[in-house]
Amino acid sequence: MTTPRNTGRRVIPSPARLGLSRSTAEQELTELGWMREECVDLLRALSRSPEPNLCLATLVRLRDALYDTEGEQSWTSFTQDLLANTVLRSRLLALLGASTALGDHLVTHPTVARHLDAAVPTFSASVQHLLQSIQATPVDATASADLTTTGTYRAGITGPDALRAMRSAYRDMMCLVAAADVAHTVDSAERQAPRRDTSERLTELAEAALTAALAVAVATVYPNADEAPGRLAIIAMGKCGARELNYISDVDVVFAAEPADAKTARLAAEFMSIGTHCFFEVDAALRPEGKKGDLVRSVSSHLAYYKRWAKTWEFQALLKARPMTGDMELGQEYFDAIYPLVWTACERDQFVADVQEMRQRVENNLPAAQVTRELKLGRGGLRDVEFAVQLLQMVHGRTDTTLRVRATGEALDALAEGGYISRHNGGELNSAYDFLRLLEHCLQLQHLRRTHLLPAEDDEIALRWLARAAGCRPTGTMDTEEVLVDRLRRTRARIRTLHESLFYRPLLLSIAAADASTVSLDDEAMERQLAALGYQNPRHALTHLRALTGNSSRRARIQELLLPMVLERLSRTANPDAGLLDYRRLSEKLADKSWYLRLLRDDEVVLERLATICGTSRYIPDLLMNAPEVIQMLSGSRLVEASSADIASALEASARRHHNPADAIDAARSLRRAELARVACADVLGMLDVEEVCAALSTIWVAVLNAGLFVTTREHLESAGLTQQDAPARIAVIGMGRLGGREIGYSSDADVMFVCQPTEAAESNQEALQWSTEVIDKLQQLLKKPSTDPPLEIDADLRPEGKKGALVRTLESYRTYYEEWAEPWELQALLRAEPLAGDMELGQKFIEAVNPLRYPKKLPVQVTQQIRRMKVRVETERMPRGVDPSLHTKLGRGSLSDIEWTVQLLQLQHAYAYPELQVTSTRAALEAATQAGLLSLDDEDTLWIAWSRATSTRNALALAKGRPLDVLPIQGDILSSVASICGWPVNSGADYVENYLKSTRRARKVVERVFWGE
């Protein structure tokens, strides 16, 4: 008798459960007074901090600081505040886990921590707070008397005292902004501030800080209060000009002065020095002639330079220029004089080439070791979005004033609204840009250092911190850092793809993306364009285009409108050439369907998805030829709104309406074809996970078997003049292998066994067996009927005595065989046995008969040894010659066979003692083994991740190749398609193989320990 396990749980979670790895964690929590039941909410909130260990260490220091400043009871009262005030709690704990620098500031200024629940300061409040910290007063009419706007002020204090006061005031307000920004990572009830809002708050804070810095500079350069300072306007450039600052961005500025003399130059230099020393780098390198040029110029001097000498990149930089502080009237004069020149820059010779060359130069100058880690300048980084957007703005903004906006997000919105890019692409770029900026914020907030460098891929601790700080959460198959890496990979690939289509396409095609000009160029130009888009054989591609558009029919005119988008979308797939061919075949096959081209024209999502499918899968287009209705399901979420169970019921009902078995099977084939196409499309488009795909494919197979057995039995009875009550036998279909586990893939065999039971109408067992065999033979013949659809063949080789054994046996015959003659592998195969079709009551009796055999009370040692020897034979004899075992998805090391044999051995050994192991699904068996203590949670995760990746890879191989394929290639279009189907960027095949091998290597180590006992 097994001893029941203790299911009691600690009321107060242990430090380990809270994610704390510090050896002193329990002692520190006790000293904080938090290891009490009433503080459980605090502890759980602490565990959700981006870095709980850092948070706890800073809390201990904060407690000591409060003791020193407010006395012994201060921490107790603060704890009570944290318990009562969820906003204060989430903001404090999130901030302490997200930023060491701001944590240090709170320790130095502990009273600030008590007020983190205050509202994020407004712009006017920030200006006022910083100016009051240095006792500033207005200099002239451009500054407000109440210190709430930017302008020119004079500080009442200077020197180190002023610097300390400004720095402290700036950090106080930054704590409020940052705490509100990251609070959602601890408490989901706290709304995550939109990235644009956070950037705008940080920009306003920077403007306030620089207004104060200018006030100190004025008092330093013009110490005599009676001396009026020279007029100095500070023009914000770059991210500050666009109101898109990070926590610790450089602030780019340009100075306009009247008079532009040595004294105003000294004022500008002092301003930069104070700002850089107190807050962040203040950089004037974007001024005319760069660092070699005069620091200050008059407006007329600026104007003369830009009209005569400025380079293309300088006009691009001016896109974001705006007056920020200082003499705002002079700043507006500068803006009104210079800004219109931006919109004539695109008329310059080589304008587009200059912009492209500059972007390429930035990218080429990156150190090789940083290319994949550089968030700002690397491929698929922030600069890709910004350069593409700015190019389009400068080209089209000369005639469309709605594009004359500074912020990248607003510019994307304006470009989409004006039709210069699709709304979908604009939304995608905006979302991707916001995500990268969020990561940039998190990286800089940690130490308040200017950085755009992501942690190395093998730095799991840093990646986990960044993932948690960015609000990532683990999924069923990926932990927190894997979720981050996966999303980052997808985001950067998508940015790069959109960047290349918008930035590197010839200007004419960018402007005329929605008309027929793309397909009316001469042959040579068309071939160059197709080659640039990634077509390996542009001449063949051109042939397809001419076939689609080579006449004056209405269909050809619609295709002329569609093809630019089709070509561009296909260019982002693994096999554009095959995709264009299949698109042509579909279009010609469906030429008589009036809805087809109308749907593609009116629904951009359908067109993009169809192009993605054609360029990714050789399996699906053939199905769509004969199931075109599935194309109509590509819109929205219709592909996944359909229920496989409902479709299976419809299939069975449709088949039963046909009295001729051949007609019935044809009807079943038609519905199965459509369901296969639906599931495969959803799979390629990433709308179903691997479990959902396998379940749907299994469900439709079961429906085919049920329908086929029913109509075959009915026809057999009717031909003999018998009724259902006169049937000499009841027949049940027992699913085996992947079908029994409901884990069928696109290339899986449908393993079954057939069991019969004589009825009272049978004169003998022999009559029942003969009749049942005739029915099953007929069923097999009907299913084997040649067809263009994926084959409908059933495999009964797992029956007793294999191919030499009887196709159908009685229940008693099965019982006798398994009790007296069965080999260990046959008992192992029974672990996946499940009644699927026919007489379910008989099927259940079969299961009851074999349960004692497949779940023995004690598995003999020699049986375990035989199973292991059989596994060795499978690995050595069935592996195809010359194949790398690590790349075989079914038989390879750490792949499906390894994992399934391991699970099945555990079931044979322990399922009697742990009934929860008595399941046919691999996932359910893994979970049950963990629940029973036979596997650790890490082992379960490792095996499941490897199993699901091997299964999804095997499915993807069938979809990509169009036929079963078990070996993962290491290069080529098929690998690119597999990576794409499995959710990776098209050009990341090598990375996908590396990731696949990593998961199988980990699984193999578990298999060696659990299955082989090593």
Q: Report phi then psi at 678, rounded to 5.
A: -60, -50
In DSSP terms, which residues pair with 795 in a beta bridge?
751
Going by pLDDT thresholds of 50, 70 and 90, the confidence category of residue 7 is very low
Yes or no: say if 104 and 97 are a contact pair by the CB < 8 Å rule.
no
Q: Are 434 and 195 within 8 A, CB to CB?
A: yes
In a 3-state reduction of DSSP, which class is residue 649?
helix
Q: 């292991």: which residue's tokens?
A: 868
Examine the pLDDT at 2 and tell me if it is beyond 70: no
Instruction: Compute the distance between CA of residue 266 and CA of residue 230 in angstroms, rounded to an integer.
Output: 10
Could you give the 3-state DSSP secondary structure of residue 551? coil
For 729-748, letters b (16+ CB in 10 Å) and e give bbbbbbbbbbbbbbbbbbbb
Nearest to 705 by CA among 806, 808, 839: 839
Q: What is the pLDDT of residue 357?
A: 63
Q: What amino acid occupies position 654?
A: S
Structural contact between residues 494 and 984, judged by C-beta atoms closer than 8 angstroms: no
Distance of CA 772 to the CA centre of its chain: 52
In the numeric block, which tokens belong to residue 72? 């012994």
Asked whether 186 and 48 are in contact (CB, 8 A), the reply is yes
Beta bridge partners of 809: 755
Contact 336, 308 (CB under 8 A): no
Secondary structure of 231-266 as H, E, C letters: EEEEEECHHHHCCCCCCCCCEEEEEEEECCCHHHHH
Residue 3 has pLDDT above 70, yes or no: no
At 7, the amino acid letter reads T
Q: Determine the 3-state secondary structure of 851 from DSSP.
A: helix
Which has more pLDDT, 517 or 187? 187
Q: Are 1010 and 935 in contact (CB under 8 A)?
A: yes
Q: How confident is the model at residue 254 (pLDDT cuts 50, 70, 90)?
A: very high
Are the C-beta atoms of 607 and 565 separated by less than 8 Å? yes
Lowest mean pLDDT among 188-197, 507-516, 576-585: 507-516
Classify strands 729-735 and 296-297 as parallel, antiparallel or unpaired: unpaired
Strand 231-236 and strand 322-326: pairing?
antiparallel
pLDDT in tens, 43-102: 999 989 989 999 999 999 999 999 888 887 889 999 999 999 999 999 999 999 999 999
Q: Which residues of 464-494 are buried (b: 16+ CB within 10 A; e: fewer)?
A: bbbbbbbebeeeebbbbbbbbbbbbbbbbbb
Annotate 70-93 with DSSP letters as a single string.
Answer: H-TTHHHHHHHHHHH-HHHHHHHH
- Largest Cα separation within the chain, whole Å, is 124
Indicate the DSSP class of residue 858.
S
Mean pLDDT computed over 133-149: 88
Name the token pair of 438.
């969020």
Do strands 794-795 and 834-838 pair parallel, antiparallel, or not at all (unpaired)?
unpaired
- Burial environment of residue 962 by CB neighbours within 10 A (0 to 12, 13 to 18, 19 or more): middle
Q: State the pLDDT at residue 329.
A: 92
Q: Are 893 and 919 in contact (CB under 8 A)?
A: no
> What is the pLDDT, as a whole number, of residue 358?
67
Mean pLDDT for the stretch of residues 514-532: 47
Rounded CA separation 367/374 (Å): 10
Residue 989 pLDDT exceeds 90: no
Residue 806, both tokens:
């009887």
CA pair distance 958, 952, nearest whole angstrom? 10
pLDDT at 353: 52
In Å, what is the CA distance from 356 to each residue of 361, 377, 384?
9, 14, 11
pLDDT of residue 501: 57
In this prediction, residue 512 carries a pLDDT of: 29
Q: Which residues contact 950 (CB under 8 A, 6 or more apart)?
A: 889, 890, 892, 895, 896, 899, 996, 1000
pLDDT tens for 595-621 read 999 899 888 899 999 999 999 999 999
- What is the spatial distance between Cα 622 and Cα 600, in angstroms, rounded to a whole number? 19
Per-residue pLDDT for 942 more than 60? yes
Looking at 251-255, 468-472, 991-995, which range is the least confident one?
A: 468-472
Going 757 to 759 to 764 to 768, the CA torsion angle's sign is negative
Mean pLDDT of the 737-765 span: 90
Q: Evaluate whether 716 touches 664 at the Cβ level (below 8 Å).
A: no
Residues 6+ apart with CB under 8 A from 921: 741, 742, 743
Enumerate residues 6+ apart whose C-beta is below 8 A from 8: none
| Whole-Å CA distances, 981 to 254, 688, 945, 986 | 49, 11, 17, 9
Strand partners, 834: 735
Identify the CA nearest to 876 among candidates 860, 859, 897, 861.
897
pLDDT value, residue 301: 93
52-70 and 40-47 helices cross at what angle (nearest 10)?
130
Return the minimum-mean-pLDDT range out of 218-222, 523-527, 682-686: 523-527
Average pLDDT over residues 414-430: 78
Higher pLDDT, 358 or 469: 469
Looking up tokens 């920009």, which residue turns up?
A: 203
470 pLDDT more than 90: no
Q: What is the pLDDT of residues 259-274, one digit of tens each?
A: 989 999 999 999 999 9
Tell which residue, 485, 487, 499, has the closest CA to residue 379: 499
Per-residue confidence (pLDDT) for residue 70, from 0 to 100: 84
- Averaged pLDDT for residues 413-432: 80
Q: What's the pLDDT score for residue 457?
A: 77
Are the beta carbons of 278 and 162 closer than 8 angstroms? no
- Reported as a single tens digit per residue, the pLDDT across 224-236 is 888 888 899 999 9
Residues 181-192 have a mean pLDDT of: 86
pLDDT of 5 higher than 60: no
Q: For the chain, what is the mean pLDDT?
A: 86
Bridge partner residues of 755 (DSSP)? 732, 809
Please give the DSSP secondary-structure letter assigned to residue 590: T
Nearest CA among 123, 119, 216 for reference residue 166: 216
Spatial contact of 211 and 325, defined as CB atoms under 8 Å apart: yes
Q: Please, which pLDDT band fits residue 534 given cuts at 50, 70 and 90? A: low
Query: From residue 126, how far is each of 133, 201, 704, 799 by CA, in Å?
Result: 11, 10, 70, 80
Phi, psi of 286 (to 5 degrees): -85, 5
**Which of the four pLDDT bands, split at 50, 70 and 90, describes residue 344?**
confident
What pLDDT, on a 0 to 100 scale, did the predictor assign at position 851?
95
CA atoms of 42 and 51, how far apart (whole Å)? 15
